[in-house]
Chains A and B, each alone.
Chain A
Amino acid sequence: MVTQVQPIPYGVGRFSAALVLVILLLLAVIAGGVYALYTQLTEGLVVTGLRDIGTMGGSAWGLYIAFDVYFVGVSFAGITTAALVRILNLHHLRAVSRMAELLTIISLILAAFSVLPDLGQPLRGIIYLFKYARPQSPFFGTFTMVIAGYLFASLVYFFLDGRRDAALCARRAGRLQWFYRLWASGYRGTAEERERHDRASFWLSLAILPVLVIAHSTLGFVFGLQVGRPGWFSALQAPAFVILAGVSGVGLLIVIAAIVRRVLGAHDRLTPEVFRWLGNMLMVLVAAYLYFMVVDWLTATYAAPSHEARISRAIYFGRYAGVYWTSVAALVAAFVLQFRQFMRQRYELSRIVLAGVLANVAAVGKRMLIVVPSQTHGALLPYPPGTYSPTWVEYGIILGLFGLGTLMYVVFSKIFPIIELPEEGVEG
């Protein structure tokens, strides 16, 4: 077997000074997060801004839960892209499918890590959830379906989809040859193998779709089934969660794809066609979510019971007005940006990326607005309204999580091609 002289494309195994700097920066951010977590584990959750609902005038759930929901939402991107490629045969999206799948896997890991600091007894939480989790609790659905279904299924899909490229990478001698060989698991690229892979991926993507819907819906049920929390108790929560997941996931995928395109110079693979498609998908999802927001707003203002009206007042005009109207403006701007490009059939990458960023800003704001106001202003008994201000511990842990996710992404892209290798392989 002749050892290839050419390197694996897409930056695999190549470290520049700038990249080392970025990695060091990420490690610093992660270290800050670890220090914040340590503070919290020793002192207790009192170091956060969370407090009891009711007489203590606080919010028991805050940033951790909001970002847990956000990360689960972002994971929507991967499987949707994979499903679109396999089930609807949208082959021009193949170039982003590995990026999308990796985004799903990493964001699900981050989601799990985001819930653990929220638990008062994290170690107990891990053991007892596996030992005693009750199906009647909406947490059961989120916990099991996200881990077993979503994360594991995405890992299986990722593994099977990457075998071909792993086999191609394994043809050169190098430090990671054992890794590529392991991943390739005897892939030989025969027609029969490809056909089997197509069939398996098709059914896998089809099977993951209901898991996705269940995982996001049970997450919505965590909030939507609580009769004791006005503002949460709504049949709209589950579907709204699914749609907002799509918005944030596709938006973040656009941003990541643009960065990869710039950093790796992959203009030939990540064509304007790809971004046009993703941009249009974002536009449709944002429109659907804006519809949900309008329905929500009309229902709340037309004839809402007094408790819900109190929450709505706090959100539209009161304490949370800044976050709310910023999120609405970001969503509307994202839609308008995309819509104008669509109508004129003239697409610009920078505008599409901006829309993706705005969509995610809105998603984060909206997640906070789902979690917090119903606790501070949604008491059914006449407690006075509460307040919630996150502390450095919460910001530190969340930033640390973003740093961890980015680091995992960067490290992976350095050991495996982040874009599917072209049909001819690396030999040219």
Chain B
Amino acid sequence: MARYAMVIDLDRCTGCRACMEACKVENNTPQAHFWMYVFRFEEGEYPNTRVWFMPRPCMHCDNAPCVKVCPVGARYKRPDGLVATDFDRCIGCRYCEVACPYGVNYFNWKKPERNHYIDWTDREAGAVLDPVTNGAVPPYKNPDLEKPYGPERRRIAGGGHLKGVIEKCTFCVHRVERGQQPACVANCPLYALHFGDLDDPGSRVSQLLRRRPHFRLLEEAGTQPRVYYLGGKPPGEESRQIEAVRARV
């Protein structure tokens, strides 16, 4: 059984946020949902400032608080390490969201046709887009996201399926099960993101972790995250975001 993890090289990340874009397109996440988010930090006072960037996917913790608190077992840990959300089971209580120390959960506050970037019930937009998208609704809809995955056959991929359920980064389970890399990893122009099997000593992630010092976020919380950071340091009191996030629905 594989033991998946992600390794993020902070020395390479330039904060371009291509990973955020790729994740959004691949997973059809709704407005203001950032399953992959990149912090842009500034430290120090001008002219002695340091600017650095930190991608933050879901940590897929081994001791995940979100899995522990889910009342109905919609949020669960797979044997390969991925923490998945079954959107057929989720009742939308948002307990996993308040329990997560990393703030990676996003709730579908709106109904799907208002939630995505285009209202596809709008006839005029449809007339323009249909020839291009061949009728796919929403226009960029990924057909893999409706299918069940894993030996447990649960529907855990993609976002914005229905209102009133929670979702988060899935490590692109629909791609990983086909042997591909998550969209963020595959699209990073600087090879700052890596994904692979920790149980395979020859995999990229295993090699990187052997060679370079690394840390994980909020280790003291005891969550045992599966996302490792190379280089750099964890954000502290002195790290402030360059601009406030204005992504609110």
A residues bordering B, Cβ < 8 Å?
Answer: 42-46, 50-58, 60-61, 118-122, 124-125, 128-129, 131-134, 136-140, 143, 222, 226-229, 306, 375, 379-384
Neighbouring A residues of B240 by C-beta, 8 Å = 382
Q: Is the CB of A60 within 8 A of B94?
A: yes
Q: Is the CB of B109 within 8 A of A133?
A: no
CB < 8 Å neighbour of A55 from B89, B109, B247? B247
* B110 at interface, CB cutoff 8 A: yes
Residue in chain A with minimal CB distance to B217: A381
Inter-chain pairs besides A51-B249, A125-B93, 8 sampled, C-beta below 8 Å: A50-B109, A118-B93, A119-B92, A128-B89, A134-B71, A228-B102, A375-B98, A384-B241
Contact with A along B55-80 (1 / 0, CB 8 A): 01000000001001111110000000
* B100 at interface, CB cutoff 8 A: yes
Q: How many B residues touch A, CB cutoff 8 Å?
A: 56
Neighbouring B residues of A43 by C-beta, 8 Å = 110-111
Neighbouring A residues of B247 by C-beta, 8 Å = 55-56
* B95 at interface, CB cutoff 8 A: yes
| 21 interchain pairs, CB-CB under 8 A | A43-B111, A45-B164, A46-B114, A50-B109, A52-B107, A56-B249, A119-B92, A120-B91, A120-B93, A124-B90, A129-B91, A131-B72, A133-B72, A134-B72, A134-B73, A137-B68, A139-B71, A380-B218, A381-B102, A383-B245, A384-B244
Residue in chain A with minimal CB distance to B244: A384
- Across the A-B interface, the 3 shortest Cβ-Cβ residue pairs: A120-B92, A120-B164, A54-B103
- Which residues of chain B in 194-249 are interfacial with respect to chain A, using CB atoms and an 8 Å cutoff? 217-218, 221-223, 235, 237, 239-241, 244-245, 247-249
Q: Is the CB of A44 within 8 A of B163?
A: yes
- Which residues of chain B in 28-78 are interfacial with respect to chain A, using CB atoms and an 8 Å cutoff? 32, 34, 37, 39, 41, 56, 65, 68-73
Q: Is the CB of B69 within 8 A of A52?
A: no
* A60-B107, A380-B218, A382-B39 known; A136+B68 contact, CB < 8 A: yes
Residue in chain A with minimal CB distance to B107: A52
Q: Give the Cβ gap from A135 to chain B, nearest Cβ, in Å.
A: 10
* A53-B103, A121-B165, A382-B41 known; A60+B56 contact, CB < 8 A: no
Report the separation of the CA atoms of residues A222 and B70 in the bound assembly, to the nearest whole angstrom: 11
Q: Is the CB of A51 within 8 A of B109?
A: yes
* B150 at interface, CB cutoff 8 A: no
Report the separation of the CA atoms of residues A53 and B101 in the bound assembly, to the nearest whole angstrom: 10
* A55-B37, A55-B103 known; A125+B91 contact, CB < 8 A: yes
CB < 8 Å neighbour of A228 from B56, B94, B109, B221? B221
Q: Give the Cβ gap from B32 to chain A, nearest Cβ, in Å.
A: 6
Q: Is the CB of B91 within 8 A of A119?
A: yes
Q: Is the CB of A132 within 8 A of B72?
A: yes
Residue in chain A with minimal CB distance to B237: A306
Q: Is the CB of A226 within 8 A of B99?
A: yes
- Most chain-A Cβ atoms within 10 A of its Cβ — which of B90, B93, B100, B110? B93
Neighbouring B residues of A121 by C-beta, 8 Å = 90-92, 162, 164-165
CB < 8 Å neighbour of A52 from B65, B106, B163? B106
Neighbouring B residues of A53 by C-beta, 8 Å = 97-98, 100, 103, 105
Q: Is the CB of B164 within 8 A of A119?
A: yes
Report the separation of the CA atoms of residues A138 and B95 in the bound assembly, to the nearest whole angstrom: 10
* B156 at interface, CB cutoff 8 A: no
Q: Is the CB of B110 within 8 A of A229?
A: no
* B172 at interface, CB cutoff 8 A: no
